[in-house]
């Protein structure tokens, strides 16, 4: 019988610290597989004081023994992927790209930015990287897949024909038709750099599981940004929940084993959209500074607020989470009081679930005593009594055990219970 794959999923609005946990778990896994998203996502990993910022390459790249797979559910920007690859050596044989992953090309970013400009104050707040337009082309069946890089001339002709067919639309947005020769040469460069890594990754993952290899699946962003289950329309364009690992890699539900959900000990969000527990005052700014809450991909300051137990309970259920990895506990060090959102006031009622539209939901808080220092703790017993009480209360509220607790960005400062 095939071995089941372990899965890591973000439980908030992304940026939960998945990179550190994937890196931590990748040390004991043979394969690390990315199943969704694009280079709008960013994982920051610190190993022995050295910082790595990953966007498309799976976090297992820092384990020289692990093989890394970019699945068909990813939208891949060749230009950015090649640049990211330049950080590492000897990637052949341990990095693989699905031939069915969709290409994200420079014109997708131009479309993304044009649409945001046209929306004005109703803009979603995308990263402007072209993720939405690339997924839009995929769903509209006018996109192009990585396997098409094998034939750059044919691919260039298809792209130019698409521009010609939709000329009025592109002109209205101010998006220029690519120059034919420049486009062809660009695609040739992509082929030369990426061809050794392109393969049928579905067969590769199946084979790994059939052989009893330890496989780890990682997504991007977080549950509350899921295209179906997040705060639509202020969401990303892919399936970020655990179910997305099946469609994004070619697996079936029975292939999924242990699910680890990642959450910060507080909450952050990038871009526009509802965020009930956001703190607009000094404490929110303190969370931002203490947690270095600035986007890995964009550098944008993240919106900061308190742990939302309502949204978290929703995320735990929808992802089938077996354990939560609680990240950045040390960011709360020194706070005299710590808030947790335990319910919402919504349309004149107190509710304990995530409604159809979170806009207008007001947080109902429970206040906890703070603590002096958790930074660097490596056992649960080392934590201050009030920090342990905070964690145990969160477990009860969300209905899931905190199996991993991170007390600094460093790989070693991790409590495994």
Instruction: Give me the active site residues, please.
Output: 15, 43
Distance, in Å, from the CA atom of 141 to the CA atom of 129, rounded to the nearest integer, reads 20
In angstroms, how far is CA 316 from the centroid of its own chain?
Answer: 16
Hey, what are 351's tokens? 């509710």
Distance, in Å, from the CA atom of 9 to the CA atom of 277, rounded to the nearest integer, reads 21
- Cβ–Cβ < 8 Å for 75, 131: yes
In angstroms, how far is CA 206 from the centroid of its own chain?
Answer: 23
Distance, in Å, from the CA atom of 342 to the CA atom of 398, rounded to the nearest integer, reads 10
Element (H, E) at 343: strand 337-346
Distance, in Å, from the CA atom of 308 to the CA atom of 393, rounded to the nearest integer, reads 13
DSSP β-ladder status, 67-70 and 307-308: unpaired
Q: What 8-state DSSP symbol labels residue 222?
A: -
Distance, in Å, from the CA atom of 353 to the CA atom of 313, rounded to the nearest integer, reads 8
CA proximity to 224, closest of 258, 274, 264: 274
In angstroms, how far is CA 181 from the centroid of its own chain?
Answer: 35
Q: In Å, how far are 120, 171, 277, 291 from 264, measured between CA atoms?
A: 31, 43, 13, 10
Distance, in Å, from the CA atom of 116 to the CA atom of 98, rounded to the nearest integer, reads 30
């Amino acid at each position: 019988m095939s071995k089941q794959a372990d899965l890591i999923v973000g439980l908030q609005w992304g940026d939960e610290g998945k990179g550190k946990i994937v890196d931590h778990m990748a040390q004991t896994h043979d394969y690390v597989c990315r199943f969704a998203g694009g280079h709008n996502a960013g994982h920051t990993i610190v190993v022995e004081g050295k910082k790595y910022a990953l966007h498309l390459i799976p976090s297992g790249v820092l384990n020289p023994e692990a093989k890394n797979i970019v699945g068909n559910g990813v939208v891949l920007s060749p230009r950015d992927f090649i640049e990211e690859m330049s950080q590492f050596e000897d990637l052949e044989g341990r990095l693989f790209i699905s031939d069915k992953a969709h290409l994200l090309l420079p014109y997708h970013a131009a479309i993304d930015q044009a649409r945001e400009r046209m929306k004005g104050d109703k803009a979603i707040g995308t990263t402007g990287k072209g993720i939405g337009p690339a997924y839009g082309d995929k769903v509209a069946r006018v996109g192009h897949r990585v396997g098409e890089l094998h034939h750059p001339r044919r691919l260039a002709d298809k792209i130019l024909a698409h521009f010609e067919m939709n000329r009025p639309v592109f002109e209205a947005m101010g998006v220029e038709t690519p120059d034919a020769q420049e486009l062809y040469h660009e695609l040739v460069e992509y082929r030369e750099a990426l061809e050794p890594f392109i393969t049928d990754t579905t067969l590769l993952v199946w084979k790994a599981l059939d052989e009893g290899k330890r496989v780890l699946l990682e997504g991007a962003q977080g549950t509350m940004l899921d295209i179906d289950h997040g705060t639509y329309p202020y969401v990303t364009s892919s399936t970020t929940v655990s179910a997305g690992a099946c469609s994004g890699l070619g697996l079936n539900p029975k292939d999924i084993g242990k699910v680890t959900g990642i959450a910060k000990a507080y909450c952050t969000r990038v871009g526009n959209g509802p965020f009930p527990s956001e703190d607009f005052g000094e404490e929110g700014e303190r969370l931002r500074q203490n947690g270095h809450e600035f986007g890995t991909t964009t550098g944008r300051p993240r919106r900061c607020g308190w742990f939302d137990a309502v949204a978290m309970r929703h995320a735990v259920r929808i992802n089938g989470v077996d354990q939560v990895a609680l990240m950045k506990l040390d960011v709360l060090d020194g706070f005299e009081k710590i808030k947790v959102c335990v319910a919402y006031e919504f349309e004149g009622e107190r509710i304990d679930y995530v409604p159809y539209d979170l806009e207008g939901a007001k947080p109902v808080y429970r206040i906890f005593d703070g603590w002096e220092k958790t930074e660097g703790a490596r056992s649960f017993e080392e934590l201050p009594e009030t920090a342990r009480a905070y964690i145990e209360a969160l477990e009860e509220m969300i209905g899931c055990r905190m199996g991993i607790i991170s007390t600094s960005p460093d790989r070693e400062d991790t409590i495994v219970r």
